[in-house]
Amino acid sequence: MTKLHCSHRSRGVLADGRELFYYDSKPDRGRERYIDARELEARPAAPELRYDALRDEWVSVASARMSRPTLADSGCPLCPSASGAMTEIPSPDYEVAVFENRFPSFHGPVNVLEDGAMAKRAAGGRCEVVCFASEHDASFRDLDESRVTLVMDALADRTAQLSHLDEVAQVFCFENRGEDIGVTLHHPHGQIYGYPYVTPTSTRMLDSARKYRDRHGGNLFADLVARECEAEARIVAQNSDWVAFVPYSARWPFEVSIYPTVHVPDLAELPRQHRLSFGEVYLPVLRALDSVFDVSMPYISGWHQAPTRVDRDLAHLHLQLLSTRRAATKLKYPAGSESAMGAFVNDMSPEESAARLRDALPPAVSTSR
Amino acid sequence: MTKLHCSHRSRGVLADGRELFYYDSKPDRGRERYIDARELEARPAAPELRYDALRDEWVSVASARMSRPTLADSGCPLCPSASGAMTEIPSPDYEVAVFENRFPSFHGPVNVLEDGAMAKRAAGGRCEVVCFASEHDASFRDLDESRVTLVMDALADRTAQLSHLDEVAQVFCFENRGEDIGVTLHHPHGQIYGYPYVTPTSTRMLDSARKYRDRHGGNLFADLVARECEAEARIVAQNSDWVAFVPYSARWPFEVSIYPTVHVPDLAELPRQHRLSFGEVYLPVLRALDSVFDVSMPYISGWHQAPTRVDRDLAHLHLQLLSTRRAATKLKYPAGSESAMGAFVNDMSPEESAARLRDALPPAVSTSR
């Protein structure tokens, strides 16, 4: 068992060779002694990475994922194991558990298969699943603040570990919640993608930040956050370590950016103080989201992190939280304009969205520092 | 009534001043004599265009669209008018009708409202609705080939007309079908967006085409189509004027690109021969899409056209058809990786997708020229 700042990590191996990590708030829980006794098929071959010469982007073709488990299948693979019901997590209990995805979008080393306009690679990289709690019916919004810190510790540790792999160019930690957004397992969990390339969105953001620095000398992300704080109208919640706001040019009816008040490239470099205080801002925002229409909202929540080896000074860690629900019974779909042209139309003004979220905050949450 | 190649256009005006056009296969149908007798509220103010400094893109904030009609509301606004039930189309019958969208994402002239990192514009441009048939329960796949040609004539004419407006930088003609993709009206219809900027996806494609020309001297789009024809494995259908294939780096389980065999920038410049023969390829592909799982598939179908004033030689007209359905009961959702990072994972190999579509084609459709 390794001590990780103030949390504790222990390691296991699943029946097909995948790695598993437990993160605990107390040392020596002895989780390693539980063995995965399942007979598992060999892991599928690595997916393919195909070059889209028109958009200058890579697309992962992962046909083995077609057969991944869905809500309809019986037995939750993310619950702790019980006698007679072995899951992906051999221990009969856990706080936070992380394991390699059985149906990865990226996996193993990157190999050149073909070059040129139709270039092809083995889609190297690494995909992991993060279980936030052993309780099947929990939801991130109901975790207590100390568990949120343990999750932050786990994500920071995973980001640091994956960043050392040759095949990982960027680490993305995210949670999809809700069947409306395609979630196939209800157990509260997130995912980690160790991409073998710098993602298209990050590439564009870093290009903008580079141009901005060359022209103005500052950091674009930090300067935009300063303007949001000055404008006030779109601030949702904040404390001395974090600020949450609906961005000026939000693409989705409910979209919240959450920035630490320190400029760091990724979770691995985030001071522990900020990990301790993240839940104080994030949990009320998640609860507000569910209160706006008094329905459980589908959401996507992901950490924008610096690439592992380039542009680390340009990037600025932040969380992007978005929901596709635009009314109690209406969803916003990325349709023709968004999907084919990349051109977004938002039917909700960011100021109204921020006001609705502020109104829905639990009492005693601060919207100022 | 204006003669437009072989189709015929007549013009009307709706009660709130919006323009309306009828496209007919025969002249002098007298549609202009039907007056819109409704009392309509004044049109909403133009939406705002906000600059996203991080992604270097514009986002339209169109809050008036929140109140647009949905499937739940009674009375289809796209059916022909009948006595006592006036719709958006005053005539008691029509073949193809086009009118300005009452809830536009872009509208009127572009005006600078603010500049700098949080730049703001009046979201000028123009949005139109295209009704493919007067029959409420029809679907594009069931139109006959001559109606498809009339639709192509209408789209070509609208593209030419909108291209003359100062505020329109690019014209996008598209159809969204299916509630799974957010369609709010069942009547078979498409839309036309006259954007006040060149869209993000086109900007990236044109950048790639420019680099490719500088390096290799050819047209990237045309060369990629030639490689697809050579590879054969992903071809779905073709005739002497069109070729339909699942692209090498498809992002969606079912995604088909359809290119004319002539290199033209947009529908306005497409020879009439190709308008006449488009249905021969497109209709079987649409029918195959519905046959793969024997369910009506949600789809997005849109024409990639050149910007109105720049890079017209670089661009290459083509249709992109995509469905988000990956199995009879499963949808592919753009979740965390796609929505936040722009990084796509496709669970279906493009070769398998093409094979399934070919197998589902109606008999006697050619997969070779």
Residue in chain A nearest B320 by alpha carbon:
A340
pLDDT digits (tens, 9 = 90+) for B261-274: 999 999 999 999 99
CB proximity B52 to A under 8 Å: yes
Q: A9 pairs with which residues across the strands? A: A2, A23
Whether B176 sits inside 8 A of A336 (CB atoms) is: yes
CB B323 within 8 A of CB B285: no
The tens-digit pLDDT sequence of chain A (369 residues) is: 676 667 999 999 999 999 999 999 999 899 999 999 999 988 888 899 999 999 999 999 988 776 666 554 668 999 999 987 899 999 999 999 999 999 999 998 888 888 888 999 988 999 999 999 999 999 999 999 999 999 999 999 999 999 999 999 999 999 999 887 778 788 999 999 999 999 999 999 999 999 999 999 999 999 999 999 999 999 999 999 999 999 999 999 999 999 999 999 999 999 999 999 999 999 999 999 999 999 999 999 999 999 999 999 999 999 999 998 878 777 777 788 999 999 999 999 999 999 999 999 988 776 666
3-state DSSP assignment of residue B360: helix
Nearest to A173 by CA among A193, A143, A195, A153: A193
At residue B111, the pLDDT reads 87
3-state DSSP assignment of residue B286: helix
Distance from CA of B274 to the nearest CA of A (A): 23
* Distances A3 to A28, A157, A158, A164, B329 between C-alpha atoms, Å: 10, 11, 14, 19, 45
Neighboring chain A residues of B70 at a CB cutoff of 8 Å = 330
Neighboring chain B residues of A172 at a CB cutoff of 8 Å = 336-337, 340-341, 343
Rounded Cα distance between A298 and A324, Å, is 7
Say which of A61, A183, A227 has its CB closest to residue B349: A61
Q: B20 pairs with which residues across the strands? A: B12, B99
Q: At what angle do helices A350-360 and A272-292 cross, to 10 degrees?
A: 100
CB B110 within 8 A of CB B196: yes
Residue with tokens 């690019």: B170
What is the token pair recorded at B167?
Answer: 């505020």
At residue B69, the pLDDT reads 60
For testing contact with chain A, the best of B65, B333, B338, B352 (most A CBs within 10 A) = B333
Residue with tokens 């990639």: B304
pLDDT digits (tens, 9 = 90+) for B107-160: 988 888 888 889 999 889 999 999 999 999 999 999 999 999 999 999 999 999
User: Which residues of chain A from 194 to 213 reach within 8 Å of chain B, CB to CB?
Assistant: 195, 199-202, 204-205, 207-209, 212
Q: A52 pairs with which residues across the strands? A: A57
3-state DSSP assignment of residue B279: helix
Q: How many CB pairs under 8 A join A and B?
A: 241
At residue B30, the pLDDT reads 92
For testing contact with chain B, the best of A345, A349, A352, A353 (most B CBs within 10 A) = A345
Neighboring chain A residues of B330 at a CB cutoff of 8 Å = 70
At residue B325, the pLDDT reads 82
Rounded Cα distance between B207 and B194, Å, is 21
pLDDT digits (tens, 9 = 90+) for A29-56: 999 999 999 999 888 888 999 999 999 9
Neighboring chain A residues of B352 at a CB cutoff of 8 Å = 63
CB proximity A41 to B under 8 Å: no
At residue B116, the pLDDT reads 84
What is the 3-class SS of chain A, one letter each residue? CEEECCEEEEEEECCCCCEEEEEECCCCCCHHHCCCCCCCCCCCCCCEEEEECCCCEEEEECHHHHHCCCCCCCCCCCCECECCECCCECCCCCCEEEEECCCCCCCECCEEEECCCCCEEECCEEEEEEECCCCCCCCHHHCCHHHHHHHHHHHHHHHHHHHCCCCCCEEEEEEEECHHHCCCCCCCEEEEEEECCCCHHHHHHHHHHHHHHHHHCCCHHHHHHHHHHHHCCCEEEECCCEEEECCCCCCCCEEEEEEECCCCCCHHHCCHHHHHHHHHHHHHHHHHHHHHCCCCCCEEEEEECCECCCCCCCCCCEEEEEECEEECCEECCCCHHHHHHCCEEECCCHHHHHHHHHHHCCCCCCCCC
Whether A70 sits inside 8 A of B193 (CB atoms) is: no
CB B16 within 8 A of CB B39: no
ipTM surpasses 0.90:
yes
At residue A275, the pLDDT reads 97
Rounded Cα distance between B45 and B319, Å, is 32
Ranges of chain B whose pLDDT falls below 50: 72
User: Which residues of chain B from 130 to 169 reach within 8 Å of chain A, CB to CB?
Assistant: none
Q: Which long-range contacts (CB under 8 A, 24 or more apart) does A309-313 make?
A: A309/A169, A310/A198, A311/A198, A311/A206, A311/A209, A311/A210, A312/A265, A312/A266, A313/A265
At residue A91, the pLDDT reads 96
Rounded Cα distance between A250 and A345, Å, is 9
CB B184 within 8 A of CB B71: yes
